[in-house]
Amino acid sequence: MALPPSPTPPTVRRSTHTDTYHGQVVADPYRWLEDAGSPETQAFVEDQNTLTRMVLDALPQRAALLERLGELWNYPRRSAVWKEGRAYFQLRNSGLQNQFVLYVMDSPTAEGRVLLDPNTLSDDGTVALSGLAVSRDASRLAYAVSTGGSDWQEWRVRDVASGVDLPDVLPDSKFSGATWLPDGSGFLYARYDRPGEEQRLSGANLNQRLWLHRLGTPQAADELVLERPDQPEWGFGTTVTEDGAWLIVNVWKGTARQNLIWVRPLGDSGPFQEVVAEFGASFEFVGNDGPLLYFLTDDQTPLGRLISHDLGTGERRDIVPEGQHRLLGAEMVAGGFVLHTLEDASSRLTLVDRHGQHARPVTLPGLGTVAALSGESGSHEVFLTFTSFLAPASGYRLEVTSGALTLLWTPELAVDLGGYEVRQEFADSPDGTRVPLFIVARRDLTLDGSHPTLLYGYGGFDISLTPAFDVSRLAWLEAGGVLAVANLRGGGEYGKDWHQAGTRERKQNVFDDFAACARFLTGRGYTSPRHLGIEGGSNGGLLVGATLTQHPELIGAAVAHVGVLDMLRFQHFTIGWAWVSDYGSSQDAQDFAVLRAYSPLHNLKAQAYPPTLLTTGDHDDRVVPAHSYKFAAELQRVQQGAAPTLLRVQTRAGHGAGKPTRLILEEKADVYAFLLAALG
C-alpha cells in the first residue's frame, strides 16, 4: 500500500522576523517556535501530532509491525559485567522492561540480586539511569537519574548491602560522571548553576564547576574543587588513579577531540600540574605505574598511539606507536594492555606487555564490535561484549595470560537469522574517497532494483558506526527490506584525518559521501530511487535534511530524528555551542557562508519533495525541538507534491537516552510503517 495523499497541513503563522549576518539579511519567520512553552507553540505541536496520527494510524502495516516489534524485542538482554572490590555488577532487561535493572553478583555468572530498578521510579518509565559509579570497596553506589529524556541529572547514593538510599540528593548536574574517593567518604562530580525554569530546556550550558560531595552532608556544603569563570565553555571530568595517589582532571571544551590534562596528588589543594597545557589533541588516561601515567592520544598521530608520561621528569615515550589502523581504546591489565583497534569499521583486540611488545591477537567471534571493555591494572581478566548486525550483544571474559575468550552468556532469540547475510561494500565519493557501507539483506536477494532499502548514516563528531545488533531492524528485514549503514567522513572509523575531513568547511564531504552510497545502492541493483529511504538522528538528522534539500531525486522517503536543521542558530541553545568545533558558527563570516550553503532549513524551496517524517521530543534539551518545528513548518509550506510532511513530537521524551521501551516500540512501528508505505 502506498502512502495516501497528504491531508492539508495546518496553517502556521509566518512572522516578519529577520536577522542580519555579516551584511546579509536572513528571514526567520518561525522564530516564535523557539519558545517551546508558549501557548502558540504548544498549539502548533498539537496540530502537527493530530495530522501525523491521522496519516500513520491509517496505515494497515502499523498494527502488525507494532505487534511484531514487541515479539522481537521480548528477549533477555545484559550489559557487560564490571567489577568493583569483590563484587560484580551488570545491567539486565528481561525483555520488555522500560529500563534496564542493575544487579550485584558474587561472581561474573551468578544470578545475583537486584540493586536498583529504575522501573519503580516512575509510572510511565520515563525516569532513567543516566550515570553509575560504585565505590572502591563496593559498599556504596552513586547513581544519577534523568526525567523525561532530559540531560539534566540528579545524583543519589545507595547502600549496596541493604539496597536503601542515603539522604544525599544532588541536582543540577549535567554531562558529568561521579568519581569516588578511595575511602568511599565522598565523590567528585560536576554541575551547573541552577537554571530558571524557562532556561532549563533551552538556556546555554556554561560555567560547569567541579565539586566534592562528602556523604551525609547537604549539597550546599559541597567543596568547590575547580572552576574557571574566565573560560565558561570548559568542563571537567575526573579520575582517581587505582593506587589512590593522583587526581586526574580531563578539561574539555565542547565536542572537539581536544582536551587538557591536569594532575595533582589526591587530597592536595595546591595547583595542578599541567600535563597537557594546550588544546590541540586528544589525551585519554589509561592507567599508571606510580608517577608513570599512560595515555591514548592522537597527538601528531591521526590513527592514535599509546604513550607514557613521567610526572617527575616530564619525559614522554611511545609504548605503542601509530599503526595502520585506528587505535580506539586501551585497557591496562596485569603485565600489559589490551588494545582495541578498528579495521574497516570492525573491532580487533591485541594483548601487549607494558612496553608495547610481544603482541598477541585475540580471536574474536567474527567481524563485529567490541564494547564495554573493563578490567583493572593488576587483574588477569577483562570483561566485554561482542555484537554484530546479525548477532545480539553477548558477554565474554578475556583471560589475559592465555588470551582465551570465554563466553559468559548469550541472548536466545526466537528467530532464525540464518537466512540473512552482511556484506561490506565501498562507494566512490565524487572526490575519489572510498566510503565503506555495510549491507544487510536476505541471502537469496535478487538484485533487480525493487527492494525497499533503508540507508542510515551519521558522519560527525568522530563517532564510528560499527556493526551492532538492533532487533527492531529484523522487522524491516522480515518485510523484505534491505538495510545499509554508511561509514561517512566526519566519523571516527579511520582516525583523526577521517573525522576532520567531514567538519566545518569540509562538511559537504559528508553529504557527498552519503549521496555516493545512495547512487551505489541503486547502481548495483539493490534498490531504485523510489524504493530508497534515508534515516539519521541528531547530526544524522542534519545529514538527512541536507540530502533531502540537495538530492531529493535520489530518494523515495526521508526520516530525520531530533535533527540539527537550523545551522545558523544551533549554537544559542543548551550545549549547541559545543558543536562549533565540527560545524563552525554563523557568527564567523567564513563559517556563515558555509553554513548558509547547506543549512537544511534555509535551503528549502518550492518543489516536490518525497514523503518526510520528522521526529523529536518536547523535552529534548540537547538538540532543541525548534529545529524540527521550524523545518516541518517550512517544508509543508513549500511542498509542491502530494507527499506528506509529518512531524511526530513525543511528549516527556528528549534526545533519545533513557527513552522507555514502550515509547521506542511505538516510534519504531510508526517509522517502519511510514517507510514501507512510502517505498512500496
Encode pLDDT of 416-462 as tens digits. Answer: 999 999 999 999 999 999 999 999 999 999 999 999 999 999 999 99
What is the band of 200 on the pLDDT scale with cuts at 50, 70, 90?
confident
- Does residue 495 form part of some domain? yes
pLDDT above 70 for 1: no
- Does residue 81 form part of some domain? yes
* Nearest-angstrom CA–CA distance, 659 and 122: 13
* Nearest-angstrom CA–CA distance, 520 and 526: 9
Q: What is the per-residue pLDDT across 577-630, written as a single tens digit (0 to 9) for each?
A: 999 999 999 999 999 999 999 999 999 999 999 999 999 998 888 999 999 999
- Spell out the SS3 assignment of 323-343: CCCEEEEEEEECCEEEEEEEE
DSSP string of 445-494, one letter each residue: ---SS-S-EEEE----TT--------TTHHHHHHTT-EEEEE--TTSSTT
The residue from 389, 412, 435 where one domain ends is 412
Q: Is 586 within 8 Å of 598 (Cβ atoms)?
A: no
Mean pLDDT of the 377-383 span: 95
Catalytic residue (one of 130, 538, 581, 586): 538
Q: Domain count for the chain, please give it.
A: 4
Return the closest-CA partner of residue 151 out of 655, 663, 562.
655
Regarding whether 265 and 224 lie in a shared domain, the answer is no
The residue from 263, 294, 323 where one domain ends is 323
pLDDT above 80 for 3: yes
- Does residue 200 form part of some domain? yes
Return the closest-CA partner of residue 286 out of 347, 225, 354.
354
Mean pLDDT of the 393-401 span: 97
What are the strands of the beta sheet with 326-333, ordered from one edge? 326-333, 336-343, 346-353, 360-362
- Spell out the SS3 assignment of 125-160: CCEEEEEEEECCCCCEEEEEEEECCCCCEEEEEEEC
Regarding whether 311 and 343 lie in a shared domain, the answer is no
Type of residue numbered 654: G
538 is catalytic: yes
* Nearest-angstrom CA–CA distance, 229 and 232: 5
The pLDDT value recorded for residue 175 is 94
Regarding whether 332 and 319 lie in a shared domain, the answer is no
- Does residue 674 form part of some domain? yes
At 131, which CATH number? 2.130.10.120
At 630, which CATH number? 3.40.50.1820
Regarding whether 422 and 407 lie in a shared domain, the answer is no
* Nearest-angstrom CA–CA distance, 261 and 554: 46
Regarding whether 200 and 277 lie in a shared domain, the answer is no
Type of residue numbered 144: A
Regarding whether 638 and 511 lie in a shared domain, the answer is yes
Compute how many other C-beta atoms are within 10 angstroms of the C-beta atom of residue 605. Answer: 9
What is the sign, positive or negative, of the torsion defined by CA atoms of 43, 46, 52, 55?
Answer: negative
Q: What is the per-residue pLDDT across 307-327, written as a single tens digit (0 to 9) for each?
A: 999 999 999 999 999 999 999
Q: What is the per-residue pLDDT across 121-157, written as a single tens digit (0 to 9) for each?
A: 998 888 999 999 999 999 999 999 999 888 999 999 9
- Domain span holding position 373: 326-412
Regarding whether 250 and 218 lie in a shared domain, the answer is no
Regarding whether 288 and 357 lie in a shared domain, the answer is no
- Does residue 9 form part of some domain? no
Regarding whether 553 and 446 lie in a shared domain, the answer is yes
Mean pLDDT of the 46-53 span: 97
- Does residue 467 form part of some domain? yes
- Does residue 509 form part of some domain? yes
Q: What is the per-residue pLDDT across 87-130, written as a single tens digit (0 to 9) for each?
A: 999 999 999 999 999 999 999 999 999 999 999 999 888 899 99
The residue from 291, 323, 355 where one domain ends is 323
- Does residue 588 form part of some domain? no
The pLDDT value recorded for residue 195 is 85
Regarding whether 88 and 60 lie in a shared domain, the answer is no
Main-chain phi, psi angles of 311, to 5 degrees: -65, -25
pLDDT above 60 for 492: yes
467: left (phi over 0), alpha (psi -120 to 50) or beta: beta
150 is catalytic: no
Mean pLDDT of the 227-237 span: 97
Regarding whether 372 and 294 lie in a shared domain, the answer is no
Regarding whether 354 and 479 lie in a shared domain, the answer is no
